[in-house]
Amino acid sequence: MGLKAVHFGGGNIGRGFVAEKLHLAGYEVVFVDVMDSIIEQLQKTKEYTVTEIGGEDEKVNKITNYRAINSKTHEADVIDEISTADLVTCAVGPNVLKFIAPVIGKAIDKRTAPKPVAVIACENAIGATDTLAGFIKDSKNTPQDRLSSINDRASFANSAIDRIVPGQDPNAGLNVKIESFYEWVVDKTPFAKEGHPEVSAIKWVDDLNPYIERKLFTVNTGHAAAAYYGHARGKRTIHDALQDSEINKIVYDCLSETSHLIVKKHGISTEEQKAYVEKIVKRISNPYLEDVVERVGRAPLRKLSRKERFVGPASQLAESGDKIDALLGAIEQAFAFLDVKDDEESAELSKILKSTEAKEVVEKVCGLEESHPLFSKIVPIVQKVQETTK
């Protein structure tokens, strides 16, 4: 019997990154989603393409050997698939993990295979697999008398993923356009006994934290800063924003501050981090990605949260008294990303700012306590945005 992976999330990252790499590694991929339209398309179509964009040249990979199940209507089938799978992955968004946990929990409990299933969440969030595992191990999803033996049936490994998926052609169907560069790093320590899954695209490491923070505080910080400043100045794409010398400098200033943290905390050399920053700015500046600023900036509530790309590094730097001026500027622009079309979080942020005192906004949105040294620096930023958007 061949290798099988069950993947939750039929979106662009799921089809264009995770499933692509699993397909190339020889896995049959079983997509799971609750979106009728995606599942129906996948069920009716025997193949789709992933076009990798690196510059003027393009590489097209044809993806086959997949099936699709709607977990909303065929939960029992999903449980059966996971109970015999080698690998379970997801790219559903951090806020959706709690909704996919029940069916995964039931499936893990049903497993009788001698080797545990590998569970790897592929989300833009720190410790996403730990979060998913926490939901799975909740008494509502796993019988408590089975918890002590759950590691015999499943191995949970955190990961860090990095690949830019630009806006897609509205008529693309299942086909995905994606940047050629990618990084998929996974903690190998949970697989010490049984060995990790064979996926050539994955870099297996003993300590994932430096990779997670370097990626989140460089790629995501730089990308979002360019988006928010670009939106404020009427730019259409990230490329357009970074062609503006002032925005370009601001992005580099943000990454200078986060680089200071990364070098100091993780022992990465200054030269290596500087080269990484240059590579990242070049990547996000790619004109062929057609990366629209509103797409990159969407979901500001999540991006302003405690462990995310701005408040995450700024809070750590503030604790040690280091410079955070550029990050504070980016935080201001993120708070001003309001009522953007098709972005529910920007509308919700607008409501919060209109109905809530500044201190409470910082507590609620940024997850900071008043005693934290960053708290007093963000309160006046919120007050300023509230004044200008009255």
Does residue 215 have an active-site annotation? yes
User: What's the 3-state SS for the chain?
Assistant: CCCEEEEECCCHHHHHHHHHHHHHCCCEEEEEECCHHHHHHHHHCCCEEEEEECCCCEEEEEECCEEEEECCCCHHHHHHHHHCCCEEEECCCHHHHHHHHHHHHHHHHHCCCCCCEEEEECCCCCCHHHHHHHHHCCCCCCCHHHHHHHHHCEEEECEEEECCCCCCCCCCCCCEEEECCCEEEEECHHHCCCCCCCCCCCEEECCCHHHHHHHHHHHHHHHHHHHHHHHHCCCCEHHHHHHCHHHHHHHHHHHHHHHHHHHHHHCCCHHHHHHHHHHHHHHHCCHHHCCEHHHHHCCHHHHCCCCCCCHHHHHHHHHCCCCCHHHHHHHHHHHCCCCCCCCHHHHHHHHHHHHCCHHHHHHHHHCCCCCCCCHHHHHHHHHHHHHHCC
Task: Find the catalytic residue in 177, 215, 235, 303.
Answer: 215
Tell me the catalytic residues. Answer: 215
